[in-house]
Amino acid sequence: MALSKTASESDVSVHSTFASRYVRTSLPRFKMAEKSIPKEAAYQIISDELMLDGNPRLNLASFVTTWMEPECDKLIMAGINKNYVDMDEYPVTTELQNRCVNMIAHLFNAPLGESEAAVGVGTVGSSEAIMLAGLAFKRKWQNKRKAEGKPCDSPNIVTGANVQVCWEKFARYFEVELKEVKLREGYYVMDPEKAVEMVDENTICVAAILGSTLNGEFEDVKRLNDLLIEKNKETGWETPIHVDAASGGFIAPFIYPDLEWDFRLPLVKSINVSGHKYGLVYAGIGWVIWRSKEDLPEELIFHINYLGADQPTFTLNFSKGSSQVIAQYYQLIRLGYEGYRNIMENCRENTMVLKEGLEKTERFNIVSKDEGVPLVAFSLKDSSHYTEFQVSDMLRRFGWIVPAYTMPPDAQNITVLRVVIREDFSRTLAERLVHDIQKVLHDLDTLPAKISAKLALNGEEGILPRKKSAIETQREITTAWRKFVMARKTNGVC
């Protein structure tokens, strides 16, 4: 006779998670629970809740890498318990960072001698990279002004209104004034002439973007350089340039090698690039490279002298994981020049496929340029019946996340949808997206007609108090929405 035993409350291991009481009791949200729970239950509960997150690979809003090879995943997991900052304990990992810095510096044509080491550092992303570069400029400018006996309390930085939010963060946190060059309809990047006009003696640098967040366009850094050289000659202020190549830094060298935007231009003193965008690494790695040692004031560098080795560092973060640095090195040696070029060319071709598919529908204006980051930014030719925001909403039903947003001043009346083509966005997906967009347009086209037909059946308009038609309500809602969104910096994407 078999005695059946039931698992009692105090049993440590629960045989079937879904048969246990753990999936019935409510999760602690604001307080830590008194008791522990078995690890299988914890895993299952969290994993289940995370199913409701978006699918990273269908997120067409983000530039950040969402797929890496399994071999790299293995290396990432093996490095996950290494605290990157323990340079003495993990000398190879530190060496890998140094190699990456040097490779990227060479990619950007930094003027380095035969055995000269590049000046640069790995960061947690372009935000930290930009803050470090900005700090270096601010300190250099302050030192220069102090030496000249002039006031150094009102530094400013000149950029386009299309900059990503981290520039605004830098300005606000480090007490630098942000002077933005306004955009205009049809010209959605920083105008070099206007930028140079805005430069004054308090300008610590002019920041140009290679790969604008809004429409992927490359700013004309060469022209900016030439105009600024002329102005510097007249004024003697020696205003430098910083290039925010967060997206473009890993694209331009491979498919536009003749485009002069990097250290080949003499006024460019530092460049930042996101390893986690077209560097093809998961989120959490960026790089900033300086032209030479003179561009990084020594007083900002900390010398960690621990167990003998002197390792100079200049970062905001201290402890962090090593996985992304190892992954970046993996990509650099695995792909090499030809690998990156093949991937970028594939992205560009898929971009063309998507662009042509959208043009064929004859419902959209393409706002992005052909030369630039592989993305397609488009707006509706006719947005009187429904707006881009509604198209974006409807696409969610198919699983696609395609963001819609208004341009910054002075082009606030333009709304665009933007699709970013990453490495893992294949041609088949591009064709499917076009197909789904056509379905969405069809649904939206037929929608108002159905509602207004209903209203017409419900009595004469003259007697009843005039109700707002569906279209007018929609228009009001979207105008209110637009106003609300315009009021703040809306570019939360990177």
Partner 1 sequence: MVLSVVQSAEESSSAFIDSVFASRYVQDPLPRYNLSEKSIPKEAAYQIIHDELLLDGNPRLNLASFVTTWMEPECDKLMVEAINKNYVDMDEYPVTTEFQNRCVNIIANLFNAPVDETRRAIGVGTVGSSEAIMLAGLAFKRRWQNKRKAQGKPYDKPNIVTGANVQVCWEKFARYFEVELKEVKLREGYYVMDPVKAVEMVDENTICVGAILGSTLNGEFEDIKLLNDLLAKKNKMTGWDTPIHVDAASGGFVAPFLYPELEWDFRLPLVKSINVSGHKYGLVYAGIGWVIWRSKEDLPEELIFHINYLGADQPTFTLNFSKGSSQIIAQYYQFLRMGFEGYKNVMTNCMENARVLREGLERTGRFEIVSKTQGIPLVAFAFKDKNKSLAFKLSKALRNYGWIVPAYTMPPNAEHVTILRVVVREDLSRQLVEKLLSHIESALSELEDEPAVPKITFTYEMKPRRFVGDGGEGDLHIPETSVNWKREKPKVIYKDVPVTGGKTKGVC
Please give the residues from 52 up to 71 whose contact with partner 1 meets the rule CB under 8 A: 52-54, 56-57, 59, 61-62, 64-69, 71
Looking at residues 249 to 278 of the shown chain, list those that interact with partner 1 (rule: CB under 8 A): 274, 276
Q: Indicate left, alpha or beta for 328 from its phi (over 0: left) and psi (-120 to 50: alpha).
A: alpha
Rank residues 126 and 239 by Cβ distance to partner 1 and give the closer one.
Answer: 126
Q: Does 37 bind partner 1 (CB under 8 A)?
A: yes
Q: Does 10 bind partner 1 (CB under 8 A)?
A: no
> Which of the stretches 51-59, 180-188, 256-264, 413-421 binds partner 1 when contact is defined by CB under 8 A?
51-59
Report the alpha-carbon distance of residue 365 to residue 385 in Å, rounded: 16
Looking at residues 393 to 452 of the shown chain, list those that interact with partner 1 (rule: CB under 8 A): 401, 403-405
> Which of the stretches 73-81, 179-187, 197-205, 232-240 binds partner 1 when contact is defined by CB under 8 A?
73-81
As measured in angstroms, the least distance from the Cβ of 467 to partner 1 is 27
As measured in angstroms, the least distance from the Cβ of 316 to partner 1 is 6
Report the alpha-carbon distance of residue 130 to residue 286 in Å, rounded: 10
Out of 9, 34, 234, 382, which residue is the one contacting partner 1 (CB under 8 A)?
34
Looking at residues 278 to 317 of the shown chain, list those that interact with partner 1 (rule: CB under 8 A): 282-284, 299-300, 302-308, 311, 316-317
As measured in angstroms, the least distance from the Cβ of 115 to partner 1 is 9
Q: In this structure, are residues 209 and 190 in contact, taking their beta carbons and an 8 Å threshold? A: yes
Q: Per-residue x/- mask for partner 1, residues 468 to 487, rule CB under 8 A?
A: ----------------xx--
Out of 21, 23, 28, 467, which residue is the one contacting partner 1 (CB under 8 A)?
28
As measured in angstroms, the least distance from the Cβ of 457 to partner 1 is 33
Looking at residues 98 to 127 of the shown chain, list those that interact with partner 1 (rule: CB under 8 A): 99, 102-103, 106-107, 118, 124-127
Nearest-5° angle of CA 16, CA 21, CA 23? Answer: 80
Tell me whether residue 244 is exposed, middle or buried, using C-beta atoms within 10 angstroms of its C-beta: 0 to 12, 13 to 18, 19 or more. Answer: buried
Rank residues 99 and 439 by Cβ distance to partner 1 and give the closer one.
Answer: 99
> Which of the stretches 177-185, 332-340, 379-387, 446-454 binds partner 1 when contact is defined by CB under 8 A?
332-340
As measured in angstroms, the least distance from the Cβ of 99 to partner 1 is 5
Q: Does 80 bind partner 1 (CB under 8 A)?
A: yes
Looking at residues 177 to 236 of the shown chain, list those that interact with partner 1 (rule: CB under 8 A): none
Q: Does 131 bind partner 1 (CB under 8 A)?
A: yes
As measured in angstroms, the least distance from the Cβ of 392 to partner 1 is 7
Rank residues 317 and 361 by Cβ distance to partner 1 and give the closer one.
Answer: 317
Q: Residue holding tokens 């602690």?
A: 28
Out of 77, 449, 464, 477, which residue is the one contacting partner 1 (CB under 8 A)?
77
